[in-house]
Structure 1
């Protein structure tokens, strides 16, 4: 079971005033997602998850000392926070994409070989033909043609 923290506990862990945390939660509901960053217990008390604590810490890191007051929050703060979150998530997604790409590519190649769609069959046929042509192209170059072929053209 994951560790959950009350708002006062989250404030102590992050060094962010409780009032600021509550203000952020109220002002930026699109940032603090329920069941990911915050959950409610059976009495409606909001509890912070580990992901929520990390999010609060990242928000605190983007703020200057004068911005920590809940009264000084602004729309630009939300933009900065969202940008930070988007950058972190984009990096995680990119890493995961490149980690999974080779295996997924091999799966698709096997699938195309074993059970191709008509379009895939055509792609494979064209690719094989192009590879064979590339490998035998040197046989067709004039410098490599046998002498008896050149003489045959002159006899016509």
Structure 2
């Protein structure tokens, strides 16, 4: 029987989308394009290049997406170490990009951008609602199913029913 503290920690992990000990041991990297084993072998530069390639492809369909290319330049960001205001600014940029991607959700370029966002900015944890909203119009597609599998929403009060 789990202790009260263990139960509280579990609720906290679920509420905030934190990985379980089992997931940390496996080195689970959320991915919609690769298996967990494949995703684990790519480095930050590979995901940045993937994001830039996706930006280039989707910009041909949605020119405003090009302005978000800066998200995939420079070093990856540790979202846990950002100040709340910095996180909010980053959330606004990511939210704007995901809104622009939504009409093109099923294209390979959009999926590459989402893959890069998963790796670089942990949108599975910090932008769960925005990511779900981006793909929800395509709820019956295999891509949306893969997005849901990448998210840690099992047991989540608002989105757990999607699992």
- What TM-score results when the alignment is normalised by the length of structure 2? 0.19
Structure having greater relative contact order (Cα 8 Å, sep ≥ 6): 2
- What TM-score results when the alignment is normalised by the length of structure 1? 0.19
